[in-house]
């Protein structure tokens, strides 16, 4: 014996396993400060992770490359690491400093 359900929320829970927004729900107001904070967080995390990934690649690839090339083609490990950090380090510092200023 089936029970007829007229409530759209209950029907969506039954069909989809969760709730959906119906016209009876009040609309959620846009919070600009929360939105900007999330954007800054995503930007800071992406930049820091990409910077650290680049350093990791340099730490792994440079010694392996130097093993397989002749001595006159080898890359100086410390100079490439210094150049990478010198170019991208200030950007990472500014973004991280701005994000963590509070």
- What pLDDT, in 10s, does the model give residues 28-71? 776 777 777 777 788 888 888 999 999 999 999 999 999 999 99
Contacts of 43 (CB under 8 A, 6+ apart): 95, 99
Residue 56 burial (CB count, 10 A): 10
pLDDT exceeds cutoff 60 at 79: yes
Q: For the chain, what is the mean pLDDT?
A: 80
What are 3's two structure tokens?
């029970």
Residue pair 22/8 in contact (Cβ under 8 Å)? The answer is: yes
pTM of whole model > 0.75? Answer: no
**Residue keyed to tokens 């130097």:** 66
Reduce the DSSP state of residue 6 to 3 states and report it.
coil
């Amino acid at each position: 014996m089936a029970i007829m359900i007229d409530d759209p929320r209950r029907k969506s829970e039954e069909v989809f396993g969760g709730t959906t927004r119906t016209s009876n729900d009040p609309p959620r107001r846009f919070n600009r400060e929360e939105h900007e904070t999330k954007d800054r967080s995503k930007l800071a995390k992406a930049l820091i992770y990409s910077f650290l990934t680049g350093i990791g690649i340099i730490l792994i690839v440079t010694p392996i490359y130097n093993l397989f090339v002749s001595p006159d083609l080898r890359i100086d490990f410390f100079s490439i690491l210094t150049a990478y950090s010198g170019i991208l380090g200030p950007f990472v510092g500014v973004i991280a400093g701005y994000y963590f200023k509070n």
